Amino acid sequence: MENQIAAEYEVKSKKLICPHCGENKFWTRQTLMNTRASTFFGFDWANRKAQNYICDNCGYVFWFFDRNEKVI
Ligand SMILES: [Zn+2]
């Protein structure tokens, strides 16, 4: 699911603010973490979904992992 329209978001009841430029508008995408790299590094992230929020101004990317949600 992608949303190319920049909007304001909250994560865990905290408003997202870009740490680099201070922008508060982001667009989102979901990334599936099923790469061989994650196995190589020993992370337990295989087949997990990550939610990305990308700063509309400078392109800074937030990554949020849902520890409990496993994508099959
Ligand atoms: Zn920014």
Quote the domain boundaries for residue 19: 2-70
CA–centroid distance, residue 4 to ligand 1 (Å): 16
CB 56, CB 27: distance < 8 Å: yes
The total number of structural domains in the chain stands at 1
Give the separation between CA 52 and CA 19, rounded to whole angstroms.
15
What is the percent of the chain with per-residue pLDDT over 90, rounded to a whole number? 49
53-65 per-position pLDDT tens digit: 999 999 999 998 8
Give the separation between CA 29 and CA 44, rounded to whole angstroms.
21
Show the low-confidence residues of the chain (pLDDT under 70). Answer: 1-3, 34-47, 67-72
CA–centroid distance, residue 26 to ligand 1 (Å): 9
CA–centroid distance, residue 40 to ligand 1 (Å): 31
CA–centroid distance, residue 72 to ligand 1 (Å): 33
CA–centroid distance, residue 16 to ligand 1 (Å): 11
Query: Which CATH number does the domain housing residue 14 bear?
Result: 2.20.25
